A and B are shown apart, each in its own frame.
Chain A
Amino acid sequence: GDSVTQMEGPVTLSEEAFLTINCTYTATGYPSLFWYVQYPGEGLQLLLKATKADDKGSNKGFEATYRKETTSFHLEKGSVQVSDSAVYFCALSYNTDKLIFGTGTRLQVFP
């Protein structure tokens, strides 16, 4: 079946460091890929998405490219801020609207 695998956390960085959170997927078809972020005590917010191979999603300085050849959708940011501290979820879905999530990666950014 379809699944999403994320790197274990927590990821601990100093402010202005470069961020990479790895995400790989297994899919029987051609899903859309998403990154969601969850701040403490809140629900999920869509961070970015990509709907087909080679698409790049970007938002708030975060980027991820849909790589079909490596079945990956790694999240990157050039310079993290303390306010980026949160849990990040990689997910996939088809048009059936059911999202399949990875286990989440906690990011902690220190000043």
Chain B
Amino acid sequence: KAGVTQTPRYLIKTRGQQVTLSCSPISGHRSVSWYQQTPGQGLQFLFEYFSETQRNKGNFPGRFSGRQFSNSRSEMNVSTLELGDSALYLCASLSGRGGNEQFFGPGTRLTVL
């Protein structure tokens, strides 16, 4: 069974731009969560989607948004990028049918210049 895939793996943007990151969960998994990892703040929960609905949301500004498609693939978008948005963005999938083991992708490394 293929694991969680994230694209792109690396991204360089400038301040003020926007960016879209993609995550494909493990086949059959219906829940996708997003996390931001930075040296200063560590791993922080962004949001979680299940069956195309946002089910949980972390404490991030409205510039951070996401969505999930009917095939469970998810995208997150960051608008008006700031230098502090430079981070590793990790996506995790789980089946959503009980059990809470999350499987993580390799992440997208975003650098904002």
Contacts and interface: CB of A to CB of B under 8 A. Distances in A.
Given A43-B107, A44-B90, A97 B102 contact: yes
A43 B90 contact: yes
Nearest to B47: A98
B32 to A, nearest CB: 10
B101 A46 contact: yes
A98 B105 CA distance: 16
A63 to B, nearest CB: 18
Contact count band on B: 20 to 34
B100 to A, nearest CB: 5
A43 B45 contact: no
Interface residues of A, number: 21
Interface of B: 4, 31, 33, 35, 42-43, 45, 48, 55-56, 58, 90, 92, 94, 96, 100-107
Query: Nearest 6 CB-CB pairs, A to B?
Result: A101-B43, A43-B104, A44-B104, A43-B106, A103-B42, A98-B45
Interface of A: 32, 36, 42-46, 49, 89, 93-104
